[in-house]
Structure 1
Amino acid sequence: MPDPAAGDDGPVAVLVRDYLQHMSVERGLSANTLAAYRRDLRRYESFLVSRGADDAARITRHDVSAFAQAVVSGEDGFSRLSPRSAARTIVAVRGLHRFWALEGVTDGDPARDVHPPMTGQRLPKAIPVAEVVRILEAVDVGTPSGQRDRALLEFLYSTGARISEAVGLDVDDVSVSDALEGPAVVRLTGKGSKERLVPVGSFAARAVDAYLVQGRPALAAKGKGSPALFLNTRGGRLSRQSAWSILKTATERAGVTREVSPHTLRHSFATHLLEGGADVRVVQELLGHASVTTTQVYTLVTADTLREVYAAAHPRARA
């Protein structure tokens, strides 16, 4: 099977590198997002070369449409992609051609009318408040690492932070101890290095404060002075994998049998806010979504809940 990351030095490959440089510098994409773009566009390069279309000016709508079909069928020699992954790939290709047209590399945009394959809408998974509480309270806070674990899980649910945002925090990014200055807040750095301020609820603020006063100093004594908020047992920054393991252990102790990931807490945070009456645009800001459209998928979850309650409670909801 060919390697989509191999690339070459043909004309299209050079132009793709220019585009990726633009996306990195001008758009500030995260390293993970940029790597996904690079992988998808190098597959596109390979496909074009195989069709003798290694010239941006000669690429047609038919070439782009054929590629859209190839990523789903695998007929280009690479792995078949799911509709969702194929959609991501075609979005990358459309962005590339739009950039070329705007920069005058090509006279037109052959990808303009090529659309990603339809994907089934995957609703975010959320768990009931009662199960969240059971998971949070299942952590034994009798040790420094236990205090860290409780602080981390309370923080994730209280702020809706991505796991990468939480483990990337430094102590100076969070203010939880001075009640006179108002509610606790944290500065989170999301995708594209965009910063946002998010309130920290009282339960999470107390857990983080207790960890900073008692647990963290004990963990920090084993390291070399890391500024990280959440430390591992060697005094270094806690990894994403370790954070996931902490949640998994707490979930098992709580007797919650459904699959729960750090992102589940983020989904639950958003869903519970909307069910409590929060405005979708406020939730958008808290989650760090660039578009409210991304956040609105959570309103479908709460609408489903409303329908279930209605069906169960209204005397004439069912025949």
Structure 2
Amino acid sequence: MSAPARSGSSATLGSVEEADLPEEFARLLGDYERHLRSERDLTAHSIRAYIGDIASLLDHAHRSGIDSVDRLDLRVLRSWLAKQQTTGRARTTIARRATAARVFTAWLARTARTSTDVGSSLGSPRAHRTLPPVLRADEAGALIRAAAELADDGSAMGLRDVAMLELLYATGIRVGELVGLDVDDVDHGRRVVRVLGKGRKERTVPYGDPAARALDAWLVRGRPALVVDGAGAALFLGARGRRIDQRAVRTLVHRRIAEVPGAPDIGPHGLRHTAATHLLEGGADLRSVQELLGHASLATTQLYTHVSTDRLRRAYQQAHPRA
């Protein structure tokens, strides 16, 4: 068996390095990684997921006796997915891998590496999409108040924590979008923040008075006390004065949520879901919420309508005498 070719690819990560692929497949994987990084401009996390899935597919094909990409066919793709099912993979994982396979085979056909797109008719199981628990409006308010009480001493870290929590809940932005913000991404006059989302798509998201006050306090009294050389224009800083990372924000949210009696244990993504749910419950239309959250598909935003309906049904059953 030939040793895998590295081809200078930076995506030979994890499962790619572990897969003992023939040279043609390893070189192909390197080309595909460069396409994802340079042409599709995906995040490192998305690239890692795609490459891991395709490395698994190519390894399965190789073990099935296929030594050239021209011999990939629908039967091989289906047997690969079937193997995922027999090894106990979740339906969501199998659905994601089916999507990865279709994107890959479309690229093969588009770049004339194969004569046809063999994955165009590949089906995938319908994933059971569930959302994490969300906070009630009073719980969200208690979360912010608890953080604000701890920041009463005017400490830089306390002011930062309140500003981050306020902004996460006010805007519903992703944690990765939060930590990527720069100071000049905040338009104080219009009370909007410029966000660089998935696929490097930019959108503008408004925020309200409480978040504005928290941001002003952080920028005037908090950030100058923490910032060090090398921090650049980062809006939010870690304990060492440089751009804060996602792990620190997740830790903060979980810790603060634990201080709210009866609140579910959620992280930053749970605050995003909370913001979306509260917007819809308050009467915002679905299209507007889709734009605010940066969802590519309206179907993703529609998931929140189920959450709101379920909450309404529970309230009805608890309150109506003939429920």
**Superposed pair shares fold, TM > 0.5:** yes
Alignment of 1:265-304 (within 5 A): 265-304=271-310
Structure 1 position 242, deviation (Å): 1.2
Counterpart contact for 1:147–1:207, Cα < 8 Å: yes
Alignment partner for residue 125 of structure 1, among 129, 133, 139? 133
Give the Å deviation of 1:241: 1.4
Counterpart of 1:296 in 2: which secondary structure? helix
Report the alpha carbon displacement of residue 109 of structure 1 after superposing the two structures with TM.
2.7
Equivalent residue for 1:97?
Answer: 105
Whichever residue aligns with residue 90 of structure 2, its letter is S
Q: Unpaired segments of 5 or more residues in structure 1?
A: 75-79
Maintained 8 Å contact 1:175/1:184: yes
Query: How far did residue 200 of structure 1 move?
Result: 1.4
Give the drift of 1:256: 4.2
Where 2:204 maps in the other structure, the secondary structure is strand
* Structure-to-structure mapping, 1:109-258, within 5 angstroms: 109-139=117-147, 140-141=150-151, 142=153, 143-176=155-188, 178=189, 183-220=190-227, 222-258=228-264
Paired amino acid for 1:103: T
Q: What value does the CA root-mean-square deviation take over the aligned residues?
A: 1.9
1:16-55 per-position Cα deviation (integer Å, ceiling 9, x unaligned): 3333322322222111101110111111111111111122
Q: CA deviation at 1:167?
A: 1.2
Superposition misfits of 4+ residues, deviation over 4 angstroms = 222-225
**Matching residue of 1:40:** 53
Q: Deviations over 1:49-107 (max 9, x none)?
A: 11111222212211111000112223xxxxx5322122211211111112222333323
Partner Cα distance (2:268, 2:211) in 1 = 15
CA separation of 1:302/1:257 partners in 2, compared to 1, >3 Å: closer, same or farther? closer
Q: Larger relative contact order (C-alpha < 8 A, sep ≥ 6)?
A: 1
Q: CA 1:119/1:225 → structure 2, altered by over 3 Å: closer, same or farther?
A: closer
Contact 2:254 2:267 in 1 (8 A): yes
- Distance 1:124-1:253 versus aligned 2 partners, 3 A rule: closer
The residue that corresponds to 1:107 in the other structure is 115
Q: 1:300, 1:87 → 2: CA distance?
A: 21
Q: Quick one: structure 1 residues 22 and 224, their matched pair in 2 at CA, closer, same or farther if it must change by over 3 Å?
A: closer
Tell me, in whole angstroms, the C-alpha distance in 2 between the residues paired with 1:163 and 1:240. 6
Aligned to 1:61: 74
Offset of residue 257 of structure 1: 4.6
Seq. identity, %: 39
Secondary structure of the residue that 1:109 maps to in structure 2? Answer: coil
More displaced stretch, 240-249 vs 185-194: 240-249
* 1:124 shift after superposition: 4.1
Q: Deviations over 1:252-298 (max 9, x none)?
A: 23334521211111000001001111111111111111111111111
Q: Across the two proteins, how many residue pairs are aligned to each other? A: 304
Structure 1 range deviating more: 191-200 or 106-115: 106-115
